[in-house]
Structure 1
């Protein structure tokens, strides 16, 4: 029965921390865009641009 004297305050403390973190996340716009993160893995990555190498046949400019 004495364990309840410890567990109830600990549970209340954890609950207050969870509620505080939830309101912090809402105030910092963590839940504004719920659709884009789900689509991001499905998008194709843009093709990397290859550097244009000068051909050895072209005369140097300048």
Structure 2
């Protein structure tokens, strides 16, 4: 039963740390644009191929 006196404050402290890290990430702009990276990967190869074609001519 004595372990509860340690585990409850420890869990509250870990929760507070997790919430603080989440708000830090939101404030830092981590979740501003979630769609562009997914679409950008589709067009990366096209730019590379266009550069290679221009270099070879």
TM-score scaled by structure 1? Answer: 0.66
Query: Whose Rg is larger?
Result: 1
Query: 2:36 maps to what in 1?
Result: 36
RMSD across aligned C-alpha pairs, in angstroms? 1.9
Q: Which runs of 5+ in 2 are unaligned?
A: none
1:1-62 correspondence to structure 2 within 5 Å: 1-45=1-45, 46-47=48-49, 48-49=51-52, 50=55
Q: TM-score scaled to structure 2, two decimals? A: 0.71
Task: Classify the secondary structure of the residue corresponding to 1:43.
Answer: helix
- Equivalent pairs, count: 52
| Structure 1 stretches lacking a partner, 5+ long | 53-62
Counterpart CA distance in 2 for 1:22 and 1:12 is 15
Name the one with the larger helix percent: 2
